[in-house]
Amino acid sequence: MDSALIPEGAKRCSFPKFAIGIVIVGAVLLWGVFAMGLIWWKGLNQTNMNDYYGFALWIWADLAVIAVGGGAFFTGLLRYIFNIDELKNIINFAVIIGFICYSSALLILAIDIGQPLRGWFIFWHANVHSMLTEVAFCLSAYFAVLTIEFIPNILENRQANKVPFFRHLAHNMHGIMAVFAATGAFLSFFHQGSLGGVAGVLFGRPFAYREGLLIWPWTFFLFTWSAAAFGPCFTLLITKITETITGKKLVKDNVVNLLAKISGWMITIYIIAKIIDTIYWATVTAPSLGFNISHFYTNNGFYGYWILITEILVCGLVPGIILIMKSTRENPTLRLIAFILGVIGICLNRWVMVLQVMAVPVMSFDTWALYFPSWQEIATTILPVAYGIILISVTYRYLPVFPQEAELNAVEPAAETE
Amino acid sequence: MKVDRRSFLGLGLGAVAGIAVSPVGLKLTDDSSIWTQNWPWTPVPADGEVIYESSVCSLCPGSCGISVRKIENRPVKIEGRENYPVNNGGACLHGIAGLQYLYDPARVKTPLKKNGDKFEEISWDDAIALVAGKLADLRKSGSPEKFAAILDKEQGSVSGLFKRLFKTFGSPNFYTMPSFESYLEATAAAIHGEGKTIGFDLENADFVLSFGAGIIEGWGSPVNCFQANASRKERRAKLYQIEPNLSNTAANADKWVPIKPGTQADLALGICAVILKNNLFDSNATMNFKGGFNKFAAMLQKDYTPSKTAEITGVKAADIEKIAGLFAKAKKPVAVFGKGRGDGAQSLKELAAVHTLNCLVGNINKKGGVFVKSKNKYLEFPDESMDSIADAGFAKPKAGRYMNQLVEKINSSSKSVVEALFVYNANPCYSLHDTKSVKQALGKIPFIVSFSSFLDETAKEADIILPSHTFIERIEDVPSGAGLAKTVVGLTKPVASPVFNTKNPGDTVILIAKALKGSIAQSFEWESYNECLEGVTARIWDSLSEDGYAVISKGAPIEPAAVNLSFLSGNPPTVQAQGDFGLTLIPIDNMRLINAGAYVSPFAIKTVSDKVLKGKNIVVEINPLTAKGLKNGGFAIITTPIGTARVVVNFNEGLMPGVIGMVEGLGHTFENKYVSNKGVNVNDLIGPVIESGSGLDAAFGIKAKISKA
Amino acid sequence: MKQENNKEHKFGMVIDLDKCTGCGSCMVSCMSENNVPFKEDESNKKDSITWMRVYKLTNGKSFPDTETAYLPRPCMHCAGKGGHGHSPCVSVCPATATEYGHDTGIVSQIYTRCFGCRYCMGACPYHARYFNWWDPKWPEGMENYLSPNVSPRMRGVVEKCSFCYHRYQAARDKAYHEGRNDIEENEFQTACTTACPAGAIVFGDLNNPAHKVHQIVKPDPHPDKWNRHVVGKSRNPKVFRLLERLGTNPKIYYLSEREWIRRKGDNYLDGEWDKIKNHHGSSSHG
Ligand SMILES: Nc1nc2c(c(=O)[nH]1)N[C@H]1C(S)=C(S)[C@@H](COP(=O)(O)OP(=O)(O)OC[C@H]3O[C@@H](n4cnc5c(=O)[nH]c(N)nc54)[C@H](O)[C@@H]3O)O[C@H]1N2
Ligand SMILES: Nc1nc2c(c(=O)[nH]1)N[C@H]1C(S)=C(S)[C@@H](COP(=O)(O)OP(=O)(O)OC[C@H]3O[C@@H](n4cnc5c(=O)[nH]c(N)nc54)[C@H](O)[C@@H]3O)O[C@H]1N2
Ligand code: SF4
Ligand code: SF4
Ligand code: SF4
Ligand code: SF4
Ligand code: SF4
Ligand SMILES: [Mo]
């Protein structure tokens, strides 16, 4: 039915099967859209946020999707700037995932603010001292870059490619993609960093506050590095999920292992830096402000030391080591476990840097604040997931996302029927 | 033109690009943001000329001078009036929130008449005619004494008009709610003789020994007390606070002396005993004592030795001796009584015992001491004309001495005791102990007229409501009292024109009197309340109208006050709490709530801690030692001999073990979502305990048990 | 008024916690002065707009050694590290919707510019900032008492104590019309200060030695020798600021004779307090 749009030589499931899948995920999406409408119509009283939790689930979701979306800029950097040619086989997908992550982040931001129609004041009345201003500018610019990086892939659709203008455009864009990749990497460096700065500059919040270099707190660098380190884990995890669902091998193991190895080294270096940062913060920064580290991790079951151990050791050091050691990295199960742990770890880090910051009392007579999101917040946070699944399904179906797909599946056309 | 795919795409892209570079997008974006800055549902207050008008707050007996900021005649802010002799610029949160009462949509907006379960609107003329008709019938039936009134106070010209109506009608059954002023008069009567009241010169005292008086909890004239208390720091004056819970006053005091609930009288007598035994008393003062001073002293040395007193009160004998020494040796000591806000239940034994301390150390009528003054007599009503019905009826005995006896009598009598009732500025169905029996008594009264501005618990029981102006809309004389050292009469002025179809209660009474014709009408020959007020306050009217207040007395009275200790010398029994459960539930007064008269405003209730009110649940305080099996923050059931309530528990180390503290002023049940149906009314759980001899309801609390809900 | 005549003010407060009774007049006066809305249930203090909030402190001891006290908390009008005007909240606001007035020391809030991102709330360790989760609604007729001097806020923006800036403007205008260069101490007093029946709040210009607030606080003209971020530390040993060590440089000072209360003002590691408690202030930890 839609075969004219499907890339040449690619095998796809039947249209009705595809449509049913889309409808199911679409229902979840609509639920999220409904919640979003409620929030825009009635305001943020639809959430469980309060004056202690001004930043909550959404800001975490924002930071998390942007962190895992870091696979796009980092893979782009490796592919176009460091010329690691094998990565051309996964760059399209990395860009699509990045596009999904960043568009989701912008959408969540538009829901999260109390006056969405005035959101543009962040540009119009920009305060150069604010990390959020830096985030807004870089994020928007980088989203534009991602769109530009995405366009050639869209134009490679079988029908679009028939239009000579589009064909030439796609070709020429590929040619200058290094410029965009460089721009993207530069912008990402700043917005990932400034997202880290969002928490790190809060000198009124000793749990978040970090010293740093010039105007940038250490979290600035840690966030950039961690996004670069864990982003590829997410790209590879989504690739693996896509392969499982489609029942096809889409990217060759040598490509996966190469990216996994780079990610492993990045994670390990990051975790060492993170451990040093944590030790310095716990033994120097916080005590200088009158806080023992135990102040931040006791009093309630949820924010216990377990969260620190899980983030740094279980979901940081462990995946890092798995991915740098050849034997474990090339074991598909261990490699998958490492990806999963890595993605949990980075999300947990963003959680801690948003929600635990709000939970910890600062005034000696203040109290811990715990919070559970409302269904509207949950629905709008799941919304981008549904949107991502749909976009990946559509792009996978209609665009030549995986250059190695034809090669890997030509010999075994029966694979799909499994 | 043929629209093929290419030209379509081209056109589309062109249009998008065109709109993008045109100012349309920017304009729409800008307009939409401007719209969010001017949402039509966000009010835009009108601006205009600003003026300030001074008046007096009469929400509580404090009688503070206020200054009302008005914009184009619209009051927008109430503040304390600078240099006013009572409060000098300060104001409490309730007074400041006064405009919320004025504009409250839950007010009674026009006279109402009950029809079945519902109120119907009725015109003022019809309402007055109806009330006068009912009263005329009652009078004709030959029992004018079955007409009763419940007011908040006796002082002032509006109360004067009510009293006059009752006298000329022929009924002695005029009651006031228990108030601090009524206890001051009862104490003065017991020790110094009738016709007197008491004022405490706290701002000059150097040692205040408070037997639970909530000096910063709304006791006395609240703002005046706050100021006197705050100046302690500069004056190096001391405050010792004796009560079972760490109230704000106790926390602010130099020392908190925890004491078993209900034993303050015994401690006061124990301290008297030490003062006498150690010859610490002022012998000049005691020379003038009459009525069994020796008997009193002998009783003390027998029944109130330090060790016996310690046993009863839980205060260490050494501490008793030390406090006695500090108190007696201070230059300007004052002992103050009136637990909490001073308007709840009190025992005369306690009031008298504490006041005896003042008499012993000779601080009566001295600067920094206690002023025993004549009752405020600035009003001069012309003689009333009494017909024979009035004379006969007025001479009959009252149905009960105080409110609680009246309630008791109505409930226990098979015959009708009261046929018609007026209620003004009082909410007995909420503020008296055992509200259920109060409501039952009111239920037996065939005709109730309320003068309330709000549809409160008692107004809901009425047959007719003749709504009064709030204090912001009416003129009235407001005499100070409530233990203030000086005597000031202030003038409340109508700073706003009436928002609803209400009247000054003075005018309403005059209209009713006129409608009753005959000698009653002859006693009310004023055109209006304004005219009446000017006439009856003629002596001070110039000062009232020009300055907004008149100072009747200040400084210590010159005449000495006789002291008669015969009431105490026989050691009347100390009132015990009702019931035999293991714990004692006591009411706690909280400045941010109101437990009598008006109800709390939305602003004031907003300030109430979540350790007092959480959602719709009241939070009670209990020492963790007493809270076996309970969870901090968890639900519990409190049971007393007269009721049960579901509460949230808050562990508080500032409560004596064995005591449960429950705040007063919550649990209203009328229609007002901001202040009603929040928590429980502690008066639903505590029943009256009548002190033999005085007849006062002296229930300081009630025995209770608490268990996990 | 000519610019050179404009003295640089640094408005601030000192609140005597030994006098404060916890009565709540300051809270209500502030609400009434500044058109603060109210709603049906205000018992969840985490979403109840109270520009002035009065906290209850306890010494944590058990009966009968328990002590309590009250601590009123308006916005601290933080001057930020080194006193340069980079308040925790001002420095983070992406839209410049809250600013530090260098001539007044007042941290302003521009409701119509704020787009409700709430970053400033996360930045403020004092919880002095409140978000309008709901449309402000007054019961029918009650909007009649609203003051035109302070605009009612719309849903979706942050608000906080303004040090009653409109009163400053009124005073400044009056002085200008009367040909004076500067306002008098008593011409600009905040609504909480004038309402306090205990006289616990003293408000004025910390830069002006003639003002009572300056005389009580005696602000140190030099940065703290232990912590260069801290400026304007009080030289009165009974005076402290909340969380002084963080370098937020609040302009609300507190006064108490009671050591346990002064200790509550900041966080201390074991043993630190005993070393510094007899010296003025609390930011040192050496
Ligand atoms: N605290 C504080 N006070 C300030 C300032 C500040 O930053 N902080 N800024 C000062 C400055 S720069 C200025 S110019 C003044 C502004 O002072 P004002 O002019 O008083 O400004 P607003 O309070 O914003 O608005 C006044 C009133 O106009 C209403 N209003 C809004 N739109 C309309 C309309 O279309 N018609 C009518 N009739 N009313 C409308 C608003 O709701 C508000 O009640 O404020 C000064 N006062
Ligand atoms: N949300 C919102 N936005 C508005 C308005 C509004 O009412 N609400 N009003 C609009 C209007 S009318 C105006 S004028 C602008 C005002 O906008 P701005 O002028 O940007 O804002 P303000 O906060 O009023 O004042 C800015 C700073 O100036 C300081 N300041 C006050 N007086 C002086 C002075 O005499 N000299 C110096 N150097 N600094 C001073 C204040 O403390 C504050 O830090 O905002 C406009 N935007
Ligand atoms: S203390 Fe009483 S009289 Fe004074 S302002 Fe408060 S309510 Fe009014
Ligand atoms: S107290 Fe909070 S809101 Fe006020 S200036 Fe400081 S950081 Fe900003
Ligand atoms: S909520 Fe408003 S004032 Fe606060 S940071 Fe965001 S835009 Fe600025
Ligand atoms: S200074 Fe003004 S705005 Fe700030 S708390 Fe006091 S009354 Fe409220
Ligand atoms: S008004 Fe004064 S005494 Fe009352 S709570 Fe506020 S600061 Fe304390
Ligand atoms: Mo302006």
Other Cβ atoms less than 10 A from the Cβ of C40: the count is 13
What's the first-to-final CA gap in chain B, in angstroms? Answer: 81
What fold characterizes domain B583-708? Barwin-like endoglucanases (2.40.40)
Q: In this complex, which of B99, B229, B653 lies closest to C145 when CB atoms are compared?
A: B99
pLDDT on residue A6: 86
Contact A386, A96 (CB under 8 A): no
Residue B290 has pLDDT above 90, yes or no: no
Q: What residues line ligand 7, using a CB cutoff of 6 Å?
A: C 20-26, 54, 70, 72, 195-196, 198, 200-201
Task: Identify the bridge partners of residue B115 per DSSP, sorted by sequence position.
Answer: B118
Interior angle at CA A79, CA A73 and CA A81, nearest 5? 85
pLDDT in tens, C193-210: 999 999 999 999 999 999
Mutate to test the interface with C, among A363, A368, A372, A376 (most CBs of C within 10 A): A363
At C5 the pLDDT is 39
Angle, alpha carbons B16-B21-B22 (nearest 5°) = 95
Instruction: Answer yes or no: is pLDDT of C4 > 50.
Output: no
Give the CATH number of domain A3-408: 1.20.1630.10
Q: Which of residues 113-142 of A touch B (CB under 8 A)?
A: 115, 117-118, 120-121
DSSP A328-346: HHTSHHHHHHHHHHHHHHH
Beta-bridged to residue B54, according to DSSP, are B67
Contact of B102 with B75, CB cutoff 8 Å: yes
Whose alpha carbon is nearest atom 2 of ligand 5? C114
The per-residue pLDDT for B78 is 96
Global ipTM: 0.86
CB of C108 closer than 6 angstroms to any ligand 2 atom: yes
Q: Average per-residue pLDDT in chain C?
A: 92
**A-chain residues near C60 (CB < 8 A):** none
* Interhelix angle B264-277/B293-303, nearest 10 degrees: 110
Contact assessment for residue B220 and residue B482, using Cβ atoms and an 8 Å cutoff: yes
Which of C46, C55, C133 lies nearest to residue A43, judging by beta carbons?
C133
Q: What is the pLDDT of residue C6?
A: 54
Complete DSSP assignment for chain C: --GGG-----EEEEEETTT-----HHHHHHHHHTT----S----GGG---SSEEEEEE--PPTTS--EEEEEE------BGGGSSB-HHHHH-TT--EEE-TTT--EEE-TTT-----HHHHH-TT---EE--S-----TTGGGG--TTSPPPPTT-EE----SHHHHHHHHHHHHHTT-SS--GGGS--HHHHH-TT--EEEEETT-TTSHHHHHH-B-SSPPSS-TT--S-BSSTTEE-TTGGGT---SEEEE-S-HHHHHHTS---TTHHHHHTTSSSS----
Give the three-state DSSP class for A44. Answer: helix
* Count of CB atoms situated within 10 Å of the CB of B277: 17
- Summarised one tens digit per residue, pLDDT across range B239-282 is 999 999 999 999 999 999 999 999 999 999 999 999 989 988 88
Q: Rounded distance, CA A126 to CA A141, Å?
A: 15
Domain ranges across chain B: 112-179+388-484+498-547, 198-372, 583-708
Is the peptide bond between B261 and the residue preceding it cis, with omega within 30 degrees of 0?
Answer: no
What distance in Å separates residue B656's CA from the closest CA in chain A?
23
C21 touches chain B (CB under 8 A): yes
C48 interface with B at CB cutoff 8 Å: yes
Q: What is the CATH number of domain B112-179+388-484+498-547?
A: 3.40.50.740
Within 8 A of B32 by CB-CB distance, chain A residues are 117
C42 at the B interface (CB within 8 A)?
A: yes
pLDDT at B616: 95
Give pairs for B250-254: CB < 8 Å, separation 24+: B250/B654, B251/B654, B251/C67, B251/C68, B251/C69, B252/B216, B252/C18, B252/C21, B252/C69, B253/B210
Q: Which pLDDT band, with edges at 50, 70 and 90, does B604 fall under?
A: very high
CA distance A131 to A193: 9
Which of C110, C132, C168 has the most ligand 2 atoms within 8 A of CB, as the residue to mutate?
C110
Listed residue (A306, A313, A382) closest to A341, CA to CA: A313
Q: Is-contact B192 B563, C-beta < 8 A?
A: yes
Nearest atom (ligand 4) to Cα of A204 = 7
Residue whose CA lies nearest to ligand 1 atom number 30: B44
Query: How many Cβ atoms from other residues are within 10 Å of residue C111's Cβ?
Result: 20
- Longest CA pairwise span in chain A (Å): 70
Distance A54 CA to ligand 8 centre (A): 29
What proportion of chain C, given as a percentage, has pLDDT over 70?
Answer: 94
CB contact under 8 A, C156 and A43: yes
Atom of ligand 4 nearest to the CA of C161: 4
Q: Which atom of ligand 7 is nearest to the CA of C54?
A: 5
Q: How far is the CA of A82 from the centre of ligand 2 (A)?
A: 50
Burial B349-374 (b: 16+ CB within 10 A, else e): bbbbbbbbbbbbbbbbbbebbbbbbe
Stated length of chain A: 418
Q: Quick check: CB of C147 below 6 Å from ligand 1?
A: no
Q: Is the CB of C112 under 6 A from ligand 1?
A: no
Put simply, the answer to whether B32 touches A117 (Cβ < 8 Å) is yes
Q: First vs last Cα of chain A: how many Å apart?
A: 22
pLDDT of C284 higher than 50: no
- Smallest CA-to-CA distance from C286 within C269, C272, C266 is with C272
Contacts of B512 (CB under 8 A, 6+ apart): B128, B131, B132, B135, B165
Query: Cα of A111 to ligand 1 centre, how many Å?
Result: 28
pLDDT at A300: 80
Quote the longest CA-to-CA distance of chain B: 124
> At C7, is the pLDDT very low, low, confident or very high (cuts 50, 70, 90)?
low
Q: Residue B6: what pLDDT?
A: 64
Find out whether the beta carbon of C158 lies less than 6 Å from any atom of ligand 5. Answer: yes
User: pLDDT tens digits for B564-601?
Assistant: 888 888 888 888 989 899 999 999 999 999 887 778 99
Give the amino acid at C234.
S
Q: Which residue among B36, B96, B230 places its CB closest to the CB of C199?
A: B230
Q: Which fold has domain C11-83+164-279?
A: Alpha-Beta Plaits (3.30.70)
Report yes or no: A55 at the C interface, CB cutoff 8 Å.
Answer: yes
Three-class SS state of B289:
strand
Looking at domain B198-372, its CATH architecture is 3-Layer(aba) Sandwich (3.40)
Query: Nearest to residue B375, comparing CAs of B216, B154, B578, B633?
Result: B154
The predicted-structure confidence for B669-689, as pLDDT tens digits, reads as follows 998 999 999 999 999 999 999
Q: What is the pLDDT of residues B382-401, one digit of tens each?
A: 999 999 998 998 999 998 88
Q: Please identify every stretch of chain A with a pLDDT value under 70, giving residue numbers as ranges.
A: 411-418
**Which residues, in sequence order, are CB contacts of A40 under 8 Å at separation 6+?**
A111, A116
Q: What is the DSSP string of B410-443?
A: HHH-SS-S-SEEEEES--HHHHSSSHHHHHHHHH
Token pair listed for B89: 């610029």
Which atom of ligand 7 is found nearest the CA of C15? 7
Tokens representing C156 are 């979706």
- SS3 state of residue A85: helix
Can you tell me the distance from the alpha carbon of C117 to that of C123, in angstroms, rounded to the nearest whole number?
12
The neighbours of chain A, by the rule of 3 or more Cβ pairs under 8 Å, are: B, C
Give the best residue of C53, C118, C137 to mutate against chain A (max A CB count within 10 A). Answer: C118
- Is the pLDDT at B286 greater than 90? The verdict is no
**What average pLDDT does range B34-59 have in this prediction?**
92
Report pTM.
0.88
Could you identify the residue written with the tokens 């409250």? Answer: B104
pLDDT tens digits, one per residue of B63-107? 999 999 999 989 999 999 999 999 999 999 999 999 999 999 889
**Is the predicted pLDDT of residue B9 greater than 70, yes or no?**
no
Closest C-chain CA to A287 = C269
The pLDDT value given to residue B636: 95
At B40, list the tokens. Answer: 């039509």
The residue type at B91: A
- End-to-end CA distance of chain C: give it in Å, rounded: 47
Cβ partners under 8 Å of residue B517, min gap 6? B136
Q: How much of chain B is helix, strand and coil, in % rounded to 5?
A: 35, 20, 45
The residue of A117, A162, A165, A366 whose CB has the most chain B CBs within 10 angstroms, and thus the best one to mutate to test that interface, is A117
**Is the Cβ atom of B43 under 6 angstroms away from ligand 1?**
no
List all chains that touch chain C, counting a touch as 3 or more CB pairs closer than 8 Å.
A, B
Tell me which residue of B391, B385, B369 sits closest to B209, measured CA to CA. Answer: B369
Convert the pLDDT of each residue in C133-183 to its tens digit. Answer: 999 999 999 999 999 999 999 999 999 999 999 999 999 999 999 999 889
C163 close to ligand 6 (CB < 6 Angstrom) = yes
At residue C278 the predicted structure's pLDDT band, cuts being 50, 70 and 90, is low
| C159 pocket-lining for ligand 6 (C-beta < 6 Å) | no
How many Å apart are CA C156 and CA A283, to the nearest integer? 39
What is the distance between the alpha carbons of residues B453 and B410, in angstroms, rounded to a whole number? 26
Q: Residues A30-78: pLDDT tens digits? A: 999 999 999 999 999 999 999 999 999 999 999 999 999 988 888 988 8
Give the C-alpha separation, A88 to A149, whole Å: 13
CB of C101 within 6 A of ligand 2: the answer is: yes
Q: Which chains touch B (3 or more CB pairs under 8 A)?
A: A, C
B227 interaction partners in chain C (CB closer than 8 Å):
197-199
| Angle between helical axes of A218-246 and A57-68 (0-180°, round to 10) | 70
Cβ-in-10-Å burial (0-12, 13-18, 19+) of B530 comes to middle
Q: Are B704 and B696 in contact (CB under 8 A)?
A: no
**Is residue C151 within 6 Å of ligand 1 at its C-beta?**
yes
